[in-house]
Amino acid sequence: MKNIGFIGVGTMGLPMALNLLKNGHALSFYDPFSDKKTIEALTEVGAKQESNIPDLCKSQDFLISMLPIGKNVKDVALGEDGIINQDNTDLIYIDMSTILPADSIEVSKQLQTKNIQMFDAPVARLVNNAIDGTLLIMVGGSLQDFPKVEEILNCMGSDVVYCGAIGSGSKMKIINNYMAIVSNILTAETLSLVEKSGIDQKLAIELMSTTAAGKGHMNFSYPKKVLIDDIGPGFKNVLALKDLRLAIEHGESEGIELTSGKSVVNVYEKAMDTKYKDLDWTAMFNFVKESNNLD
């Protein structure tokens, strides 16, 4: 059993804290915005409510935060009454908020001046997964000391993945969300075009699930081509641009503005004056890297 202090028992934090209790750990919590129902849900199963961070830090093995933004994390960690100014420097601080990696790195560096170790461990998946203890948790911090936090994190997630040095958990979370959030709009535009075009939605989804459109390039086209250094033309970029323009023109005729597609046209057009024009469409990975001075 470990003594754990938890800061931020909101929509995700509450079930995560409850799962720590279910796994036999002693838990104290602090959240000035928690309502009566939340407080009762925790205290009824043995958690102790604290009125401030200094009291929460006393005699803890671990301190976990699940907060909305980076400023909240900085206040909790580095503020006048923050973790950095408490006597208990033996605790390990795990921040599970989704914040800028630079914020995680900055907080960690300052805590290190007091020999307080920090891990960033943002989560993915939904509230139901927080309730079930099946979150995906992406962890950044010391690899040598990762086993110290892994047992605690396993109480809240079914997939706890070490991603690298401090800040790497936040980086991986943001990268994952970037693709998911941008793809969400692309999916919404695509299905709107399906509907407006008079195509049966079920048919369209079943059909596209057999191509890169539905399988996703990471699962379908990239492993077979660019990721094994094969960019010989299977589907040329010049043809991809032609088809993209056709889709945008068709969307306009149907009264659907394909904003995502229009933004991508610019990238393909820049490639038309380079060697990538007649290479495979997955070679755009290399083009984007070159454009950003990664090669």
Q: Catalogue the active-site residues.
A: 173
Q: What is the rounded CA–CA span in Å between residue 190 and residue 213?
A: 10
Q: What is the rounded CA–CA span in Å between residue 63 and residue 253?
A: 57
Cβ–Cβ under 8 Å, residues 4 and 28: yes
Dihedral through CA 72, CA 75, CA 78, CA 82, nearest 10? Answer: -110
Q: If you write DSSP's letter for every residue of 184-204 in order, what string do you get?
A: HHHHHHHHHHHHHTT--HHHH
Q: 8 — alpha (psi -120 to 50), left (phi > 0) or beta? A: left
Instruction: Report in angstroms the alpha-carbon separations of 153 from 18, 49, 161, 173, 175.
Output: 13, 21, 10, 16, 21
Place of tokens 């993209």: 244
Residue 274: count of CB within 10 angstroms of its CB: 12
Q: What single-letter DSSP state applies at residue 227? A: G
